[in-house]
């Protein structure tokens, strides 16, 4: 029998929390339960069905993430966007107002500005805790944060936003994808709900699309009703792959943190680089906030080339680091946000958001960091010619 999850540390929880031990064989891993039809009545007196989000493999992920994020319960979905859309539609109704962070993930920005407003929901955008307080209205029901944000790695004072939410009775939600539960636990800072695109660090191997939400039992019960109607569940095989990835989460994130810190400090001193955006660097505008609320600064950073025309050449000359969309996998990936995540914005909008054409975003993998340093050294030298 597992000791109480509260007494165990993160690396141990990654491995053991939620595992469905197989009494028939004594196997060490959760079996994959492929059924979509389950008998009733059953010992739990519960109707089990994949779209009810309660199959054994879905529960393994939910229990593991609830333990890692210090929540009471969780649900696993077929994508990060399935979590975000289900949560927003479950908790907002026509006439409600919600406040979103200004530099949202592109998919969430599209969902909010294209879909949510069609249902008569009012939205505002804000940048920091003071901004959030100023945006409050009598009909505000929800505040939605990303910290660190994409691609400038801005951090919001989470305890301040959580306090505001408690005082005003509004649901506080954070997309914790960039930080992972290893580096940051927003529920322990007072947040109501934590969501993840599990496609990124949680699975960590760039081969599963999934999402997770962790919260109180009451919030999860309400979300499960909405989720059953919207139908964005994850199948048993993908749950198993995600469980396998999660076992090494703490180990991977430690290496992501270390490699990103080394690479960010190296690029900061490189003559071709104007600025590096990484919350672990003392000159980052939100370094003090990040140091207070994060255990590690994560594997994501961005940097600005002095000469924007070098960006394409840099990407084509890297040999280890791969130009690609997405992030959070074991392999290092690089992209130019003005061409990828932020390409739908006008140049003026991008400028306002601080996204220049010479801005490059890196998802630092777990390769030997010396190989990454050498790769950037040679690619920047050649790109400068
Ligand atoms: C990728 C991502 C999402 C969306 O997740 P999907 O799994 O692609 O649906 C949401 N938020 C952040 C911060 C992401 O990086």
The answer to whether the CB of 87 is under 6 A from ligand 1 is: no
How far apart CA 33 and CA 144 sit, in angstroms, is 35
Closest approach atom of ligand 1 to CA 82: 9
Six-digit token string for 337: 């946000």
DSSP state of 233: B
Phi, psi of 207 (to 5 degrees): -140, 15
3-state secondary structure of 191: coil
Q: Judge contact between 180 and 202, C-beta under 8 A.
A: yes
Pocket test for ligand 1, best of 61, 103, 197 (most atoms within 8 A of CB): 197
> DSSP character for 221?
H
CA gap 241, 206 in Å, rounded:
11
Handedness of CA 33, 37, 40, 45 (dihedral sign): positive
With H, G, I as helix, E, B as strand and everything else as coil, classify residue 326: coil
φ and ψ of 198, to 5 deg: -70, -10
Ligand 1 pocket mutation pick from 77, 81, 341 by most atoms within 8 angstroms of CB: 81
Pocket test for ligand 1, best of 107, 155, 175, 302 (most atoms within 8 A of CB): 107
Q: What's the per-residue H, E or C state across 83-133?
A: HHHHHHHHHCCCCCEEEEECCCCHHHHHHHHHHHHHHCCEEEEECCHHHHH
Please give the order of strands across the beta sheet that includes 171-175: 73-77, 211-215, 193-197, 171-175, 140-146, 97-101, 122-126
Q: Which residue ranges make up each domain of the chain? A: 5-246, 249-383
| pLDDT score recorded for residue 1 | 40
147 lines ligand 1 (CB under 6 A): no
The two domains 5-246 and 249-383 share their CATH topology (first three levels equal): no
Query: Which protein residue's CA is at the shortest distance from atom 7 of ligand 1?
Result: 80
149 within ligand 1 shell (Cβ under 6 A): no
Nearest CA to ligand 1 atom 8: 80
Query: What does the buried/exposed string (b/e) look like for 265-282 if buried means 16 or more CB atoms within 10 Å of the residue's CB?
Result: ebbeebebbebbbbbbbe
Ligand 1 center to 105 CA (angstroms)? 7
Task: Single out the residue of 246, 187, 214, 225 nearest to residue 54, CA to CA.
Answer: 225
Q: What integer pLDDT is reported at residue 349 of this predicted model?
A: 81
What is the predicted pLDDT for the residue at 344? 80
Q: Please list, in sequence order, all residues whose beta carbon lies within 8 angstroms of the beta carbon of residue 312, skipping any fewer than 6 positions away.
A: 336
Give mean pLDDT in consecutive 10-residue pieces for the chain, a chain of 385 residues: 71 97 94 96 90 98 98 98 98 98 91 95 92 95 97 96 97 98 98 98 98 98 97 98 98 98 98 98 98 98 96 96 97 94 83 90 98 98 67
CATH class of 5-246: alpha beta
User: What is the CA(272)–ligand 1 centre distance, in A?
Assistant: 31
- Cis before residue 148, ω within 30 degrees of 0? yes
* Residue at token pair 């739990």: 44
Q: Which CATH number fits domain 249-383: 3.40.50.720, 3.90.1150.10, 3.40.50.2300, 3.30.450.40?
A: 3.90.1150.10
Q: What is the per-residue pLDDT for 3?
A: 54
Distance, CA of 382 to CA of 317 (rounded, Å): 8
CA neighbours closer than 13 Å in the CB half-sphere of residue 59: 12
Reduced to 3 states (helix: H, G, I; strand: E, B; else coil), residue 62 is helix
């Amino acid at each position: 029998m597992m000791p109480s999850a509260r007494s165990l540390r993160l690396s141990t929880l990654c491995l053991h929390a939620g595992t469905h031990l197989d009494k028939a064989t004594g196997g060490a891993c959760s079996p994959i339960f492929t059924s979509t039809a389950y008998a009733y009545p059953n010992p739990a007196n519960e109707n089990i069905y994949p779209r009810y989000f309660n199959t054994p493999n879905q529960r393994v992920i939910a229990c593991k993430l609830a333990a890692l994020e210090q929540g009471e319960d969780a649900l696993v979905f077929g994508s990060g966007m399935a979590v975000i859309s289900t949560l927003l539609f479950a908790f907002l109704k026509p006439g409600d107002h919600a406040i979103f962070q200004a530099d949202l993930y592109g998919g969430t920005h599209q969902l909010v500005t294209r879909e949510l407003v069609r249902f008569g929901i009012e939205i505002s955008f804000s940048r920091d805790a003071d901004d959030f307080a100023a945006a409050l209205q009598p009909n505000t029901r929800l505040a939605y944060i990303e910290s660190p944000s994409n691609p400038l790695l801005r951090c919001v004072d989470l305890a301040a936003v959580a306090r505001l939410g408690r005082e005003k009775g509004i649901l506080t939600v954070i997309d914790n994808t960039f930080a992972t539960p290893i580096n940051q636990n927003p529920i322990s800072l007072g947040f109501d709900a934590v969501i993840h695109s599990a496609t990124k660090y949680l699975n960590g191997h760039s081969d599963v699309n999934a999402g997770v939400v962790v919260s109180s039992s009451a919030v999860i019960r309400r979300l499960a009703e909405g989720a059953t109607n919207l139908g964005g569940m994850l199948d048993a095989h993908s749950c198993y792959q995600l469980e396998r990835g999660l076992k090494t989460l703490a180990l991977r994130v430690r290496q992501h943190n270390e490699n990103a810190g080394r690479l960010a400090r190296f690029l900061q001193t490189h003559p071709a680089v104007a600025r590096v955006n990484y919350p672990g660097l003392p000159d980052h505008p939100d370094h003090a906030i990040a140091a207070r609320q994060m255990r590690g600064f994560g594997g994501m950073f961005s940097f600005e080339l002095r000469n924007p025309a070098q960006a394409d050449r840099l990407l084509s000359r890297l040999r280890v680091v791969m130009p690609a969309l997405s992030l959070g996998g074991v392999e290092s990936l690089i992209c130019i946000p003005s061409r990828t995540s932020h390409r739908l914005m006008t140049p003026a909008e991008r400028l306002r958001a601080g996204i220049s054409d010479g801005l490059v975003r890196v998802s630092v993998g777990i390769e030997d960091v010396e190989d990454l340093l050498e790769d950037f050294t040679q690619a920047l030298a050649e790109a400068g010619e």
